[in-house]
Amino acid sequence: MTTQQLPDRFRWPVAVAHEFSVPAARVWDVISMPGNLEPCHPFCVKNPVEVWPGPDSRDEIFYLSGWVFQRRFFNWIDGVGYDLEIGRRGGRQSCVSWRIRPVDEQTSALKITAFPFVLQGVPVAIRWLPHLLRIRPVLRSYLDAVLRGFDWYITRNEPVPRDQFGKHPWFSASN
């Protein structure tokens, strides 16, 4: 297990948590399986894996919108979660933290915290309004849909339909 701190350069994270009616070990089994985004992510077309598992894991996510992001994991904590950088290959990277918390023996919670790179270079006095009015709500709706997609897969043991929880302005295909 490797642990590394999330970079200090990120401010104003956006976090969403979801409770699952299964033990934490089941949630870990799903989020740690290679290519887990393909059956669980409502905006993912495919999720090819380059290296898996562990702190040097790398994969890609092909979104319905046509965007392709690479994920590079730098922390991997068995049974608990991981931290990763995500973004376009060669582009600026956001950081994302996934953490599982047992609630009781049959219930657990998964929390995704995103530290978006968007607006990080803009002075605070200017960026707070666009962050508050646009970035935060759109990112929250995205993270909520991702967590609901994992719940769908875990509960039904079948892939989540694309755009199952509504279209997303960044990651769904345009009409």
Q: Which residues contact 94 (CB under 8 A, 6 or more apart)?
A: 10, 85, 86, 87, 114, 115, 116, 117, 118
Q: Looking at the domain that runs over 14-156, which CATH code has it been given? A: 3.30.530.20
Neighbours of 49 (CB within 10 A): 17
3-state secondary structure of 94: strand
Residue 2: the pLDDT is: 41
Residue 13: the pLDDT is: 86
Give me the tens of pLDDT residue by residue for the chain, a chain 175 residues long.
Answer: 344 555 555 567 899 999 999 999 999 999 999 999 999 999 999 999 999 999 999 999 999 999 999 999 999 999 999 999 999 999 889 999 999 999 999 999 999 999 886 555 655 555 655 655 567 898 999 999 999 999 999 999 999 999 999 998 889 997 5
Residue 122: the pLDDT is: 56
Helices within 41-175 (DSSP H only):
124-130, 136-156
Q: Nearest to residue 59, comparing CAs of 38, 81, 80?
A: 38
Residue 3: the pLDDT is: 46
DSSP-derived pairing of the beta strands 68-77 and 81-87: antiparallel
Residue 168: the pLDDT is: 87
Residue 99: the pLDDT is: 98
